[in-house]
Amino acid sequence: MPTALITGASRGLGAAIATALEPTHTLLLAGRPSAELDAVAERLGAPTWPLELTDPASIEASTEVLAELDVLVHCAGVAFPGRVGESSAEEWRATFEVNVVGAVALTLALLPALRAARGHVVFINSGAGRNPSPGLASYAASKFALRAFADSLRVDEPALRVTTVYPGRIDTDMQRDLVAYEGGEYDPARFLSPETVAQVVANVIATPPDADVHEVVVRPRG
């Protein structure tokens, strides 16, 4: 079976994507070591792949043993809710370090393995990567940057398939934090389920090899 490495696989959308790909792929569940990541690995019968996106040594150690990689899914991300005037430079640095620099560094480290497999890189972006929302200044900026990196990777590495997925709001812990910041009442029915977005990602990855899906936009109905 083809091999898929998924970042942020310990919970939420990352865990859901791993579950959706499990029937068709050998999984590498990447993330910071945690009981949550171990639980996903045990449930899916897949190995954990210790990875700290802010640590170059961790990225090098986690990638040097991979000669080929069919699918890389960038799902890890952080957000610090806050409007521009409420934000701090430290929050911007922390956001870009994970959401952009970490994704870039991991992709570069895995390029030889991806090239060898003529692989597929999937970037989980956000609606905020197309249209910024109030209260998500640094997050939106990082997602715009991630979008530009994905587009650059596509044109510079034509042997690879590169897809950016722009989901709307998803029922995750990050969403709960954002709603709490906004002062609203959390209603999971208003948001996409992680499983729904994960199935969209799995469908993209299953696209026949003569096609390349560049972008997918997914929004909650109603």
Please give the positions annotated as active site: 139
Strand 48-50 relative to strand 71-74: parallel, antiparallel, unpaired? unpaired
| Cα(209)–Cα(174) distance, integer angstroms | 34
| Cα(105)–Cα(217) distance, integer angstroms | 25
Neighbouring C-beta atoms of residue 203, cutoff 10 Å: 12
How many angstroms from the chain centroid is the CA of residue 202?
13
Q: Is 29 helix (H, G, I), strand (E, B) or coil?
A: strand
| Region of 130 on the Ramachandran plot (φ > 0 left; ψ -120 to 50 alpha; else beta) | alpha
| Cα(86)–Cα(72) distance, integer angstroms | 34
| Cα(106)–Cα(58) distance, integer angstroms | 10
Among residues 211, 213, 216, 209, the alpha carbon closest in space to that of 2 is found at 209
Question: Torsions phi, psi of 30, nearest 5?
Answer: -95, 140
Q: What does the buried/exposed string (b/e) look like for 166-183 if buried means 16 or more CB atoms within 10 Å of the residue's CB?
A: bbbbbbbebbeebbebee
| Cα(211)–Cα(169) distance, integer angstroms | 28
